[in-house]
Amino acid sequence: AADSQVRKPAFPLPALACDTHAHVFGPQDRYEYVPDRSYTPPDASLEDYLELHKALGIERGVLVQPSVYGTDNRATLDAIRAGGADFRGVVVVDETIDAAEMERMHEAGVRGVRINLLFKSGIEVSDVRRLAERIAPFGWHLQMLIDVSEFADIKATLGRLPVDVVFDHLGHMPTSIGTDHPGFREMLSMLADGRAWAKLSGAYRITSGTRTPYDDVAPYARAIIQANPERVVWASDWPHPYVNIPMPNDGDLLDMLDIWSPDAATRD
């Protein structure tokens, strides 16, 4: 479970600060997990997440459908609705979803669809364009959970879609590979062109270290910010599911943003 003793961040957050990527889980007796899943998380409620907002000074949030629910978006949608006007959501769907269901999701606050190619979720690369075409009329984006070092022809495949693309977790490429890897450079090129966004989140998913501030992640975060700071967003990735190193404190994670982007205006 996430560390409930959240340390206050060392720098003030701007008004309307937004956490662009978090999850809710459970209760398990109400929202069942898919049998073929990569992990089983402890419960993490919307109420718990709102306590994190208070501790950090966050006012808005985006709840993202986790892989363990597959395309059953009930837990995420219920939490978005309960969160009210300060919340938006990203769901997981397949190309068979009908327009009426997408309309209902849009009314609930959904603004994107997640493509998960790392953990078991039933989504394939071939689904990307079909899904992009289905969601384009709603102005939604495609959020990609991929390792950019293993995804061939990123710019050719994703740069020509009729929707914006958002890269999860700094591109989810291990820091041992290096920032000159062609996949990482292609992601930066899409950012520079204004055709994609990147999330500064989940640093513990790519580091070779075990403790914050994960110094080996800093060159990646700084390269992403330098490519196009107007297309970069921050996220907690709370409650940090499927983390195989010591659970970090959310205050320490937020302080890493000050290390990566010490200029307050750029950070804001």
Residues designated as active site? 237
174 contact partners, CB below 8 Å, separation of at least 6: 147, 149, 206, 208
- The CA-atom distances, in angstroms, between 107 and each of 5, 126, 208 are 35, 28, 41
Radius of gyration of the chain (CA): 17
CA atoms of 135 and 152, how far apart (whole Å) = 24
Q: Report the side by side order of strands in the sheet with 87-91.
A: 18-22, 60-64, 87-91, 110-116, 141-145, 165-167, 196-200, 232-234
CA atoms of 63 and 80, how far apart (whole Å) = 7
CB 133 within 8 A of CB 162: yes
* Structure tokens, 147: 């390792």
